[in-house]
Amino acid sequence: MTEIFITGLGTVGAYGSGAESLRRVLAASELPAPSEVDRSAGYHLAQAPRKALLLDPALLREWVPPGEARRMSPPSRFALAAARMAFRCAGLGEGLPDERTGVVISTAFGPSSYSEGLLRQILLEGPESASPILFMESVANAPAAQIAIASKARGPSVTICQREAGALLAVGQAAADVAAGRVPRALAGTLDEMTPLLHSLLDRFGALARNSGPDGTEVARPFDLRRAGFVAAEGATMLLLESGERTASPLARVAAWGSAFDPTAPAVGWGTGSAGLARSLRRTLDRAGIPLESIDRIVTGASGSRSGDRVEALLLKEAWGDLPLPPVLAPKSVTGEYGGGFLGAAVLAAAGAPFGPTAGFEEPDPELGVVPHDGSPLAPPSTILVTSVAAGGAASWLVLEAP
């Protein structure tokens, strides 16, 4: 049986570039300094949040030089930088041993700034003003293609768009490709950029935390009674998955993956079908021969979303039944929503990285009954469940084992 290991991790976000930057903020429960969102275009409502977790473009120069970056959208740059970090982390910084490498990545919104620019040209200036460069980089799979071109990765190239569930779906599909022997390695990950337009629209849908912290700042409060939305983020995280034959010092083993759908969910919200999702999760674990009791850490995708955290909590409660939940981590309290910090945090959790107390969490929500990690020392992990539920009904999960 083919074993699949995560041998490389690359990440870039408001916390900086590289796994060590992410590890540091997670250990300290230290929210990276949020950036002022540019409101000059006038997209935002007056009371909309003002900040988001944006990355410093200067972080990318080491990985994607300006001459290479000039024909890429921001998400392509994020993705390529994270991919190169992952390759270097896996000891493949000088190049891939052969071209049999797959690229399976997800994005919730695609290259938003280029799509917006193209729409502006078409709708406001006329269709003949449409830029071919903007168009070719506005497609959702542009980042995957740029990674493949830059690294000569000629295996399957797949881009998944399934909102917040996409990252784990991508890891699962990449793992399936490696397990089936289609490729000996695959890059899997997720990316998103947070443009002023997207930020303003997420707020109009009521998704963002507003004035929830001291001094009117925005704070995500996963699983908290007073949670009222998430803090939007951007960035990319890429993992290198390899079959068991070349695994010098893996970060984690991919033990199982699965997904399900809640058909009661509306197109832009969450439904009431947590029991069905829980049954599907149990089925994934049963099929993989993983007893529930063996899971000693859960990394949730809880972001501070009022309804999303509720579904995620009830899904776990239903799945565990009378059994006590293992420690529950909610790294989006630090990484924000989107941009892949959550995925990087999950791998670091499997690798035994320390996590501080859940930022923003103060008061348990009695309906949810989930109290996230309080920062007390945890025993080294063995089996980690990673979950993510998406607006619209999709849910996905992954089981990682410590190396």
Partner 1 sequence: MNHKAVSRRVAVSGIGAVSGLGWGIGPLWEGLRAGRTAIRPFQRFDHSAHRTHLAAEIADTSLSSDPRCQRLSLADRFAVFAAAEALAMAGLSGDTAAPLEDAGVWFGSSTGGMFESERYFSEFLRGRWRNARLRDLAAQQVNAPGDAVARWFGVSGPVSTVSSACSSGALALGAALDAVRSGEVEVAVSGGSDSLCQLTYAGFNALRSVDEGPCRPFRAGREGMSFGEGSAVLVLEPLERVLARGAEPLAEFSGAGSACDAHHMTAPDPSGAGAAAAIEAALRDAGMPASEVGFVNAHGTGTPLNDAAEWRALQRVFGERAGELPLTATKALLGHLLGSSGAIEAVATVLCLRHGELHPVPGCAEVDPELPVSLVLDRPLPLPGVRAAVSTSLAFGGSNAALVFSRWTNS
**376-395 binders of partner 1 (CB under 8 A):** 392-394
Question: Among residue numbers 140 through 169, which ones bind partner 1 (CB under 8 A)?
Answer: 140-142, 144-146, 148-149, 151-163, 169
CB atoms within 10 A of CB 35: 16
Question: Among residue numbers 42 through 81, which ones bind partner 1 (CB under 8 A)?
Answer: 42-43
Q: By C-beta, is 181 or 214 nearer to partner 1?
A: 181
- In DSSP notation, 194-208 reads --HHHHHHHHHTT-B
Q: By C-beta, is 17 or 138 nearer to partner 1?
A: 138
Minimum CB distance to partner 1, residue 166 (Å) = 8
Q: By C-beta, is 201 or 292 nearer to partner 1?
A: 201
Half-sphere exposure of 173 (CA within 13 A, CB side): 23
Q: By C-beta, is 159 or 303 nearer to partner 1?
A: 159
Q: By C-beta, is 87 or 361 nearer to partner 1?
A: 87
Find the helix or strand (DSSP H, E) in which 189 lies.
strand 185-192
Number of residues engaging partner 1 in binding (CB under 8 A): 82
Question: Among residue numbers 303 through 362, which ones bind partner 1 (CB under 8 A)?
Answer: none
Q: By C-beta, is 76 or 300 nearer to partner 1?
A: 76
Given the rule CB under 8 A, which of 16-24, 50-58, 135-143, 330-338 is the region that contacts partner 1? 135-143
Given the rule CB under 8 A, which of 80-88, 114-122, 210-218, 294-302 is the region that contacts partner 1? 114-122
Question: Among residue numbers 164 through 223, which ones bind partner 1 (CB under 8 A)?
Answer: 169, 172-173, 175-176, 179-180, 182, 201, 204-205
The correct pick among 27, 119, 325, 378 for binding partner 1 (CB under 8 A) is 119
Question: Among residue numbers 258 through 277, which ones bind partner 1 (CB under 8 A)?
Answer: 258-263, 265, 267-268, 273, 276-277
Minimum CB distance to partner 1, residue 368 (Å) = 22
Given the rule CB under 8 A, which of 17-25, 126-134, 212-220, 306-314 is the region that contacts partner 1? 126-134
Minimum CB distance to partner 1, residue 382 (Å) = 17
Q: By C-beta, is 21 or 280 nearer to partner 1?
A: 280
Minimum CB distance to partner 1, residue 102 (Å) = 8
What's the CA gap between 308 and 313, in Å, rounded? 9
Tokens of 360: 């923003």
Residue for token digits 């089936």?
Answer: 180
Residue 162 DSSP code: -
Given the rule CB under 8 A, which of 130-138, 300-308, 344-352, 367-375 is the region that contacts partner 1? 130-138
Tokens of 251: 């970060």
Q: Is 266 exposed, middle or buried (0-12, 13-18, 19+ CB in 10 A)?
A: exposed
Beta strand spans in 214-251 (E): 235-243
What's the CA gap between 161 and 350, in Å, rounded? 25
Tokens of 268: 């832009």
What are the distances in angstroms from CA 192 to CA 13, 37, 73, 85, 365? 10, 15, 11, 17, 30
- 249: phi > 0 → left, psi -120 to 50 → alpha, else beta; which? beta
Closest CA to 105 of 151, 172, 154: 172
Q: By C-beta, is 43 or 338 nearer to partner 1?
A: 43
What are the distances in angstroms from CA 33 to CA 56, 219, 231, 246, 275? 11, 12, 12, 38, 38
Site string for partner 1, 74-113 (x = CB under 8 A): -------------------------x---x------x---
Beta carbons of 142 and 76 less than 8 angstroms apart: yes
Q: Is 211 exposed, middle or buried (0-12, 13-18, 19+ CB in 10 A)?
A: middle
Given the rule CB under 8 A, which of 254-262, 295-303, 341-349, 357-365 is the region that contacts partner 1? 254-262
Told to check if 118 binds partner 1 by CB under 8 A, we report yes
What's the CA gap between 325 and 24, in Å, rounded? 26
Beta strand spans in 288-382 (E): 297-299, 328-329
Q: By C-beta, is 342 or 397 nearer to partner 1?
A: 397
